Structure 1
Amino acid sequence: MFDFTDPDAFRRRAAGVSLVLAPLCLLLGMVVDPLTRGGDETLAYAQEPVAAGISATLLHYAWVLWVPGVLGLVHLVRSRGVVLANAAGAVAVLGLINFSSLMIVDFFDIVLYRRLPAEQATGILEDSLQPALVFAWQLPGMIGSLLGLVLVAVAFTRAGRAGWWFPAGVLAGLVIWIAGARSGFPPLGYAGPVVLLAVFGTVGVTMIRMTGEEWRQARREPASQPA
């Protein structure tokens, strides 16, 4: 499937596969997450360290895998929407990289709550929320990832590459996912990633099935009517 001697084919397929795997990893990460499955909000990770570790790893790779997918989407926007695509792509990539790094906190949760009293472990984690962590890691990661993915989908649609179902589905999927994660209601926590898998997966499969000429044609299109 991946021809390492053909740069266009490799990049196109890698981007398409990433758009499928990223939301799939998010869905699986939510399914395995002890908190989503109704575990104790404070001790869930300490009580199920293996599940917590697998979940954190899947969520980490969900955000990482979205990066090549976003780059592939931006590559295909060459006329209308190009300015928005480039700006949103940069925001999304930086946000996704930051967001993926935040998953390591789950491993500290596991160790702290297994070795220390819950009150002391909670205090240490709260004290770790230094301004640099919040404003340089957390907020850019969360806002950049979520806002960037939606805006990239908007730019992709404005360029005529997909219908408006794409950005609408991305927005709906992210909102449902956040609501589900905060509510602790498993079906809602799974529904968001399922929607994201449907919309990103559709675009990803379409990208994989593109011919090499279609991919190269996008590169040759004049960047007229930027928006």
Structure 2
Amino acid sequence: MLTNANTFRRVAAGTSLILAPLCLLLGMAVDPSEPGVDDPLAYAHNPVAVGVSATLLHYAWVLWVPGVIGLVHLVRKKGVVLANIAGVITVLGLINFSALMISDFFDVVAFQMLPVDQAEKLMQDGAQPAMIIGWQMPGMIGSFLGLVLVAVAYAWGGRAGWWFPAGVLVGIIVWLFGASAWNLVLGLGGPVILLVVFGIVGVSMIRMRDEEWATSAAA
């Protein structure tokens, strides 16, 4: 497989579309935060779980990159402009967002070494304008909006039904709401939806013939 460019890239892209939401799901499941409880010391008391969770979330965003590139590659005629623009936005967003996961490690140390009020101030002061504008906002907007737009372009190009972008949108909204509200069911439910829809597309990409992957004609 390593000697065949089409096979390797196709399988790598399809596998990434499965592993990325799986890592997101596992990362959320391992997170030590208790549903409905806003405990600032939750991370300080569970450094191992935080490390595993942050690492899984980091690789979720990283693994989506080759998958997105694969999706964009398969959009050839209809939707190609949207796919190209959305692909660039998404890849840059995912790279930015993955870097933000490192803050969890500093969160652990800050709350272990300092009183709660000082640790909270340290973390808040660390959110400099450059980090918010240059890292956080592009990361979140690029990742979430970009994934939806890439899925729209993929469906528009005839590569999947409209259930794909609809599922991506619903999965992201459910996950974001669950994560912000500390709701375990929604926090895990969103990634499950994303795993299903991206998994279906990923499996179809893996099972695709090399000729279909390489051709200039839409499926």
TM-score category of the 2 structures, normalised to the smaller one: over 0.9
Give the Cα separation in 1 of the matches to 2:54 and 2:37.
15
**What is residue 90 of structure 2 aligned with on the other side?**
92
Give the Cα separation in 1 of the matches to 2:66 and 2:36.
33
Matches within 5 A, 1:48-197: 48-197=46-195
Alignment coverage as a number of residue pairs: 218
Superposed displacement of residue 129, structure 1: 1.0
Give the Cα separation in 1 of the matches to 2:116 and 2:110.
8
Q: CA RMSD in A?
A: 1.1
The C-alpha deviation readout for 1:131-165, integer Å capped at 9, x for no partner, is: 10000000000000000000000000000000000
Q: Is the 8 A contact 1:36 1:189 kept in 2?
A: no
**What is residue 10 of structure 1 aligned with on the other side?**
8
SS of alignment partner, residue 122 of structure 1: helix
Give the Cα separation in 1 of the matches to 2:169 and 2:14.
20
The residue identity in structure 2 corresponding to 1:92 is T
- Structure 1 residue runs of 5 or longer lacking an equivalent are 223-227
Q: Percent of aligned pairs with the same residue?
A: 64
**What is residue 23 of structure 2 aligned with on the other side?**
25
Superposed displacement of residue 37, structure 1: 4.9
Normalized against structure 2, the TM-score is what?
Answer: 0.97
Q: Is the 8 A contact 2:36 2:181 kept in 1?
A: no
Give the Cα separation in 1 of the matches to 2:59 and 2:109.
22
Give the Cα separation in 2 of the matches to 1:193 and 1:50.
22
Superposed displacement of residue 221, structure 1: 3.2
Give the Cα separation in 1 of the matches to 2:132 and 2:186.
27
Give the Cα separation in 1 of the matches to 2:38 and 2:182.
10
The residue identity in structure 1 corresponding to 2:51 is G
**What is residue 221 of structure 1 aligned with on the other side?**
217
In the alignment, structure 1 residue 200 sits paired with structure 2 residue 217: no
SS of alignment partner, residue 104 of structure 1: helix
Q: Is the 8 A contact 1:153 1:167 kept in 2?
A: yes
